Homo-oligomer: A and B are copies of this chain.
Amino acid sequence: MTKPKLLIVGAGGVGQVTVHKAAQFRAEFGGIVLAARNADKLAAIAQEVQERWAAPGEGPLIETMVIDARNLEDVKRVISETGAQILINVASPYCNETLLDACLATGTHYLDTALGEDEHVEDIKAPWYSYVEWPRREKFAGKKLNAFLGMGFDPGVVNIFCAHARKHHFDSISSIDIIDVNAGSHGRYFATNFDADVNLREVKEDVITWEKGAWKTIPHHSEWMDVTLPQVGSHRVYSMGHDELQSLAYTFPGTERITFWMGFGEHYLKVFNVLDNLGLTSSIPVEVDGVEVAPNRFVKALLPDPSSLAPDYQGKICIGCDIRGMKDGQEKRLFIWSNCDHAENYEEVGSQSISYSTGVPVITAIRLMANGTWNPETMTHMEELDPDPFLKLMPETGIDWHETELPLDGSWPFTKPGAA
């Protein structure tokens, strides 16, 4: 591919970061198209991108197209009309199946940041990739098309951190704890940082985690630990099912435990538990006055638009991998992580860090796909590719990363800046 044209599908928080970052590195691409449902939103984003990134006198940096991302024919039409070579799926996970099929039908490379989901089905069995993605792997390989799965931060960069650890730091890996803490404050009573319906369902579902070399299912929020992480300090984090476990369990064979931990504050848990106990987190529609509405969709309609949180968001996030294993016959524990700062990210691209930390890895990977560095010509999980070029390019694209050995006793030697 020489300077491929990008088709970014989805104009939510992640879509906005992705298109800003694509515009920033536009010299590496043959064009940028942003496609979503809402024409007004598209126009507003296009104007914002132009004002922020265009040189004086430079023409339009991006094109926009209205698309119905759940309609196969419409997606094929947009791909055909734009002539895009890479489709970047940052739409809702309900669109994955259609977007994958449109890429197969049109010979288009693909990238997404989250597993495909069925809107009204809950608690699907592991492995989650066996429903939508893996059945299409041979088709992508047959057409020599790239499909990068789960290429945000988590999943995405954390998978690459694991690949980096395996390549450079360990002879064998015994456990991987992926930890995601958002220590930021949006100042609202309650809000989710990405689509509320997707987020509430993700948090409410039974936790599927990898332990003693097998899948284990436990109730949500039933296992937790207290951690102290760089820049964000001490937090209680709860075991949660998450996309990356669903590939790492297979790409890191022999690893005893692979667990994802998400930080939740007391207030979030109070509100979430009320919603959950009342059935308001469910994605199964209920009948109200003659119409069918899914509770999580109803709650979403009442909550703030996640992208509206950005202007007031303060504080930092920390996402990292706490990895244990053996190196040269010695036990070793390594932590690899990134921080983002909500206000800094807003200053740069007008988005909060949850969106920023997803969109920057997307464009980092797309830069590698565009210049041929990452070209597996098949569907791939991100830990299956060489981590080195990605980790070299991510800081330049917008996010630094760090690594340090940690005490084997499980303690956390970090202190929050300003803390004693």
Binding site for B on A (CB under 8 A): 189-190, 270-271, 274-275, 277-280, 286-289, 291, 293, 295, 297-303
How many identical chains are in the complex? Answer: 2
Since A189-B277, A278-B299, A287-B301 are in contact, a sample of 7 more A-B pairs with Cβ atoms closer than 8 Å, ordered by chain A residue number, is A190-B278, A274-B275, A286-B301, A286-B302, A293-B293, A293-B298, A295-B298
Complex-state Cα separation, A271 to B275, whole angstroms: 9
Q: Which residues in B have their C-beta under 8 angstroms from that of A271?
A: 274, 277-278
The interface residues of chain B lying within 8 Å CB-to-CB of A291 are 291, 293
CB distance from A196 to the nearest CB of B (A): 11
Provided the pairs A277-B189, A302-B279 are in contact, do residues A293 and B289 lie with their beta carbons within 8 angstroms?
yes
Question: When the two chains form their complex, are residues B278 and A303 in contact, meaning their CB atoms are under 8 A apart?
Answer: yes
- Chain B residue with minimal CB distance to A290? B291
Which B residues are in CB contact (< 8 Å) with A279? 302
Assuming the contacts A288-B293, A288-B297, A289-B293, asked whether A302 and B280 have C-beta atoms less than 8 A apart, the reply is yes
A288 x B277 contact (CB < 8 A): no
Chain B's closest residue to A302 (CB) is: B279
Give the residue name and chain of the B residue nearest to A267 (CB). B274
Closest A-B pairs by Cβ, 5 of them: A274-B274, A288-B301, A279-B302, A291-B291, A189-B277
Q: Chain B's nearest CB lies how many Å from the CB of A200? A: 12
**Option from B190, B297, B298, B300 in Cβ contact (under 8 Å) with A277:** B190
Are A297 and B301 in contact (CB-based, < 8 A)?
A: no
A288 to chain B, nearest CB (A): 4
Q: Shortest Cβ distance from A254 into chain B, in angstroms? A: 43
What chain B residues lie within 8 Å of A295 (beta carbons)? 298, 302
A189 to B277, CA, bound (A): 7
Contact of A298 among B189, B190, B274, B288 (CB under 8 A): B288
Residues of chain B within 8 A (CB-CB) of A277 are 189-190, 271
Given the complex of chains A and B, what is the CA–CA distance between A277 and B293 in angstroms? 21
Q: Which residue of B lies closest to A273 (CB)?
A: B274
| CA gap between A289 and B295 in the complex, in Å | 12
A270-B274, A278-B271 in contact; A297/B289 too (CB < 8 A)?
A: yes
Could you tell me the distance between the alpha carbons of A297 and B295 in the complex, rounded to whole angstroms? 12
- Quote the shortest CB–CB distance from A164 to chain B (angstroms): 41
**In the complex, how many angstroms separate the beta carbon of A301 from the nearest chain B beta carbon?**
4
Contacts of A278 in B (CB 8 A): 189-190, 271, 275, 299, 302-303
Measured CB to CB, the closest approach of chain B to A280, in angstroms, equals 7
The contact sample of 18 A-B pairs, CB cut-off 8 A, is A190-B274, A190-B277, A270-B274, A271-B274, A271-B277, A274-B274, A275-B278, A278-B302, A278-B303, A280-B280, A280-B302, A286-B301, A288-B301, A289-B293, A289-B297, A291-B293, A295-B302, A298-B298
